[in-house]
Structure 1
Amino acid sequence: MPCIGVPCTKSLVRSNKHHLTVSFFQATQKLPSVLLAAYAELDCGGLDLLQGELPQSIANELAATAKAIAAPGKGILAADESTGTIQKRFDSIKLQNDEANRAAYRDLLFSTEGLGQFISGCILFEETLFQKNQDGVLMVDLLKKQGIIPGIKVDKGLETIPRTDDEKATMGLDGLAERCQKYYAAGARFAKWRAVLSIDPSQGKPSDRSIAEVAYGLARYAAICQQNRLVPIVEPEILTDGTHDIATCAQVTEKVLAAVFKQLSDQGVMLEGALLKPNMVTPGSECPTKAKPEEIAFYTIRSLARTVPPALPGITFLSGGQSEEEASANLNAMNKMGPHPWALTFSYGRALQASTLQAWSGNAENKAKAQAALLKRAKANSEAQLGTYAGGAGGGGAAVSLFEKHYVY
């Protein structure tokens, strides 16, 4: 049986029911840490010796931050909903969307005692990065108190790519360097930039043009972030909208990731100081054939193994409208297939917050109840990152789909 990337020997190969060997993962799982240790011993430049542009102090800082975010048993809380998106969340609990309520909700999340045991980083909307709670404490300081690294959403939304069938590119490169400097000074240590692609084979989506636009934009963003001491999270989200099957999603995912990493290389991005936030490989939302966690895990790991270099320290999956329980179960299935050359963890928004928001419902008296719900989901995903999640956290509400058609963040 052929292996992925390494010679095949009886002592090296262990196959599963999908006929995927784990030789590649076993052979490369320690490569990033081994490389970092080797770089540290070099007398002629360390990490920046290979990158060619970043000063060694910045390269080392980026690598350390990325490694900390991808720590075992931890993941990212995505709390960077725009004002428009949080409007939809608050509408579901009949709460007015004003700055005071947004601050109260973020304070509830970030002051949850024990959250830092399961969460390594938190992505913020720009308003939140500079916001204080009712006690006058900066939101970033609430996170730092728990050892959670603050991050920041830096893209400016989507626009239609000219001469395409409504395919999207991400805005925000103009002035990005200056914004990164401001965000770093305010306490942010990593950034996120979301790009989106759609699958519709009947219309030729995603087109080569849209893939090229997305890959270039993500790579330019990543390079600018690293030059300004922020770890870039690269997010090429392939939306689940559509009737396509899981194999089609895998093919598109591989094509997109290959283009993205080619551009990251061309733009001189240091992979040891970056993270990837991809979709899991799943059937389309309207596909009649559903996939079990083990199948999603197989296709996702295979696509990553074919396209993502082992120098990258971590892959932080988006939930993509999966229910809270699905997002945990699928991540758990992937980590049970390990070891892998990269940490496989979570960067969930809805799949961490849905039960919390419903428990809170805008009522201060429900704060403790809501924080307990958040802690339960965070613990479930921590266990999923370790491949030890037994399922069932959160009750019936955790099984409710969080899918939104043509999702805009």
Structure 2
Amino acid sequence: MMITKLLKNTIEDLFANGKGILAMDESTPTCDKRFSSNGIPQTLEMRRNYRELLATTPGLNESIGGAILYDETIRQQTKDGEPIASVLMNAGIIPGIKVDLGAKDLAGFPNEKITEGLDGLRERLAEYKSLGARFAKWRAVITIGDGIPTRTCIDANAHALARYAALCQEAGLVPIVEPEVLMDGNHSMQRCYDVTEHALKALFDQLYFFHVDLEGIILKPNMVLAGKDSKEKNSIEEVAQATVNCFLSSVPAAVPAIAFLSGGQSPQQASQHLNAINKDYKERLPWIVAFSFARAIQQPCLEAWKGQSSNLEAAQKLLYHRAKLSAAARRGEYKLAMEDHG
């Protein structure tokens, strides 16, 4: 019971006052790729500078209740020698940690992935907790294509997510479970709906089998969208309605919070869709519906920074503004006109 209360308190703190989560847990290859496309040197020092920029943004705690860190980041210090996790905690932002070791090819199943990282996880969780983490994240990757996803891929990833979640709760950390159905491809919105529903139902079956307390987890899913190469153009209202219907049919009301990923949507799209879900369906939703965005909060900031210390203040202002807009969308108060007031 003590563990359950601890987990619930962490979840309440993360989402208090209309806040959400900043995902700043890009792996080194992903971070380097984003740096490369913005002409930023791909070095350890640059990654540290960037993460310090994010963590020290003035006023970030007005919209952000938690930040997901990468292994490298939770061990790093600012230029002044303060651990980045401490900087966040002192600002009232709860540090979390990405604990999976990435999506690898699923043997025997071409074009499908399985996330690895269960070996030694119990010990790693204990260490991360000692470094200040109060929650963790594990991402499963599900691709839509010809004949995929297979049931094997969905079930294998659901099983891994459940084992991870059970270990987190044992350690007193809130597990963020992330079964991401990718936007890549030319599939229809209906196909995304069907695959997302299948993935969520498989996930909650496994969480039940592994005795995971649903009141002590956060679900981090994709929205229901047509593939980004699809000719299908869905309105904001259609995306919100499909997403809400899919989740009402597959996510138990015991789950306290859903924190959507942006998944390659533009910052504006992610905010518009989240806003419509909260504005139009508030009365029907048994969960907090918030955000755990990475690119949809970071992208404008990264493009403005370009690795130059002279751009630091301008970049932080963009991050602050984007986080504010995400929080407004969580409350159902976002309007496109707000984009211009950064």
Equivalent of 2:216 in 270, 273, 276:
273
Query: Is structure 2 residue 60 aligned with structure 1 residue 115?
Result: yes
- Rounded to whole Å, the distance in 2 between the matches of 1:98 and 1:204 is 40
Equivalent of 1:76 in 9, 17, 21:
21
State the shift of 1:285 in Å. Answer: 1.1
Runs of 4+ that moved beyond 4 A? 393-396
- Rounded to whole Å, the distance in 2 between the matches of 1:307 and 1:57 is 28
State the shift of 1:115 in Å. Answer: 0.5
8 Å contact kept, 1:317–1:346: yes
Query: Is structure 2 residue 42 aligned with structure 1 residue 94?
Result: no
8 Å contact kept, 1:64–1:273: no
Equivalent of 1:211 in 154, 162, 175:
154
Equivalent of 1:180 in 125, 132, 136:
125
Tell me, what secondary structure is at the counterpart of 2:16? Answer: coil
- Rounded to whole Å, the distance in 2 between the matches of 1:75 and 1:125 is 18
Structure 1: gaps (5+ residues): 1-55, 399-409
- Rounded to whole Å, the distance in 2 between the matches of 1:369 and 1:205 is 43
- Rounded to whole Å, the distance in 1 between the matches of 2:214 and 2:17 is 19
Partner of 2:139: 194
Q: Which residue type is aligned with residue 282 of structure 1?
A: L
Partner of 2:195: 252
Q: Deviations over 1:331-380 (max 9, x none)?
A: 00000121311011111111100100111111111111111100110000
Q: Which residue type is aligned with residue 376 of structure 1?
A: H
Equivalent of 1:383 in 321, 325, 328:
328
8 Å contact kept, 1:67–1:314: no
Q: Identity, % of aligned pairs? A: 46
Q: Which residue type is aligned with residue 245 of structure 1?
A: S
* TM-score (norm. length: structure 2): 0.97
- Rounded to whole Å, the distance in 2 between the matches of 1:72 and 1:113 is 18
- Rounded to whole Å, the distance in 2 between the matches of 1:243 and 1:89 is 24
Query: Is structure 2 residue 230 aligned with structure 1 residue 287?
Result: yes
Query: Is structure 2 residue 21 aligned with structure 1 residue 57?
Result: no
8 Å contact kept, 1:212–1:259: yes
Equivalent of 2:90 in 129, 135, 145:
145
Give runs of aligned pairs for residues 6-405 of structure 1, distance below 5 A: 56-200=1-145, 203-336=146-279, 337-339=281-283, 340-394=285-339
Q: Which residue type is aligned with residue 164 of structure 2?
A: Y
More displaced stretch, 177-186 vs 140-149:
140-149
State the shift of 1:191 in Å. Answer: 0.4
Q: Which residue type is aligned with residue 262 of structure 1?
A: D
State the shift of 1:158 in Å. Answer: 1.6
- Rounded to whole Å, the distance in 1 between the matches of 2:337 and 2:302 is 19
Q: Deviations over 1:209-268 (max 9, x none)?
A: 111101101000000111011100000000111111111111111111000001001101
Q: Which residue type is aligned with residue 266 of structure 1?
A: F
Q: Which residue type is aligned with residue 59 of structure 1?
A: T
State the shift of 1:166 in Å. Answer: 2.5
Q: Which residue type is aligned with residue 370 of structure 1?
A: A
Q: Which residue type is aligned with residue 7 of structure 2?
A: L
Superposition CA RMSD, Å: 1.3
Q: Which residue type is aligned with residue 110 of structure 2?
A: D
State the shift of 1:70 in Å. Answer: 2.8
More displaced stretch, 229-238 vs 60-69:
60-69
Between Structure 1 and Structure 2, which shows a larger proportion of helix residues? 2
* TM-score (norm. length: structure 1): 0.81
State the shift of 1:72 in Å. Answer: 4.1
- Rounded to whole Å, the distance in 1 between the matches of 2:262 and 2:269 is 9
Structure 2: gaps (5+ residues): none
- Rounded to whole Å, the distance in 2 between the matches of 1:196 and 1:73 is 28
- Rounded to whole Å, the distance in 1 between the matches of 2:136 and 2:290 is 17
Q: Which residue type is aligned with residue 338 of structure 1?
A: K
State the shift of 1:122 in Å. Answer: 0.3
Q: Which residue type is aligned with residue 175 of structure 2?
A: P
Tell me, what secondary structure is at the counterpart of 2:176? Answer: strand
- Rounded to whole Å, the distance in 1 between the matches of 2:234 and 2:184 is 15
- Rounded to whole Å, the distance in 2 between the matches of 1:393 and 1:77 is 20
Q: Which residue type is aligned with residue 79 of structure 2?
A: Q
- Rounded to whole Å, the distance in 2 between the matches of 1:286 and 1:134 is 43
Q: Which residue type is aligned with residue 275 of structure 2?
A: N
- Rounded to whole Å, the distance in 1 between the matches of 2:132 and 2:211 is 25
Tell me, what secondary structure is at the counterpart of 2:262? Answer: coil
State the shift of 1:198 in Å. Answer: 1.1
Q: Deviations over 1:193-215 (max 9, x none)?
A: 01011112xx3211111111011
Q: Which residue type is aligned with residue 100 of structure 1?
A: E
Q: Deviations over 1:290-328 (max 9, x none)?
A: 111111100000011001111111001110100010010
